[in-house]
Amino acid sequence: MGALCAVTLGLSPAHVYNQCVLPESQRDRIGVALVSPRNPLNIGAAARAMANFGFERLSVIAPFGPTWREARSAVGAPEVLLNATEFATIAEAVADCTLIVGTGSLTYRKPEQPVVQLPDLAPRIAEELACGGRIALVFGPEKHGLTRDDLSYCHILVEIPTYSRQPSMNLGQAVAVCLYELTSQPFRLEREKDGAPGVNEPSAPASPGSSGSLDRLAGVIEETMRAAGYSPKGMQSANRHDLRLLLRRLSLSAHDVRRILGLFRRILWRLNRPPARKMSPD
């Protein structure tokens, strides 16, 4: 029906059908990360959804070995799955990303980061792309979703509107719904922006700090806290979790991260330096 309408209007069916797909330069900076997936069919469905919308960057974090091997060896597996990268931890998988988007239901969860409804996600992604950032959409295991520790690496949590009697969504379907939302809305935003007359373009925003650089900063801050005797050993894990969340809420630029890192390294050096011995008078 869509192709028939396109012909009637004198348009190419392919042009109409694919007009919302993001350009390659943007798709290359948006990746999907699957944390500990266990069902090979779900992994394959997620990869198929990525291929449908032109996304290629798939990361698989701590997968169940037999399941992962079965998924990758499936007959007709798309290139997305065959070229996926395996990581041991979520920190490694998102180290080069500047915006990490966690997904999940809020039915049994109290979020510790800002919550964005799925229809409002595209403008946030568009802002990050505009300042040269890289984005990861993170999906948790089928059984329980992302853990509290997983989410501490996320800047925001996106919630897919679902019926209260069945709030959770199949992994492959969740990936498809999120990617569809991203491929359509940014395109409309671009068209509205291009068509606005007499609007001066703002100066380019500062390049955001990557997740890996924030983790390095968190490591030095934590080391400084230990050197200063900030808290007992039993609180160090909780402090590490809270520090990850805090640094991501601050939305630091790459320049700010470097400056703060230098500051804490100097403080740490001073704390670890033995006090100078005073010379007694003759």
Q: Where in the chain is the domain with CATH 3.40.1280.10?
A: 22-187
Token pair recorded at residue 64:
């169940």
Hey, how many other C-beta atoms are within 10 angstroms of the C-beta on 240? 16
Strands (E), 27-73: 30-35, 57-61
pLDDT tens readout for residues 69-124: 888 877 666 789 989 999 999 999 999 999 999 998 777 778 899 999 998 999 99
**212 phi/psi in degrees, rounded to 5:** -65, -40
Q: Hey, which residues does 59 pair with through a beta bridge?
A: 33, 85
* Residue at token pair 């919302």: 20
- Decide if 238 contacts 232 (C-beta within 8 A): no
- Decide if 2 contacts 17 (C-beta within 8 A): yes
pLDDT tens readout for residues 246-268: 999 999 999 999 999 999 999 99
Superfamily of domain 22-187: SPOUT methyltransferase, trefoil knot domain (3.40.1280.10)
Hey, how many other C-beta atoms are within 10 angstroms of the C-beta on 275? 5
How much is the pTM?
Answer: 0.82
The whole-number average pLDDT for the span 32-58 is 92
The whole-number average pLDDT for the span 171-187 is 85
Q: 10 vs 4, 7, 61, 146, 149, CA distance in Å?
A: 10, 5, 47, 48, 53
- Decide if 138 contacts 103 (C-beta within 8 A): yes
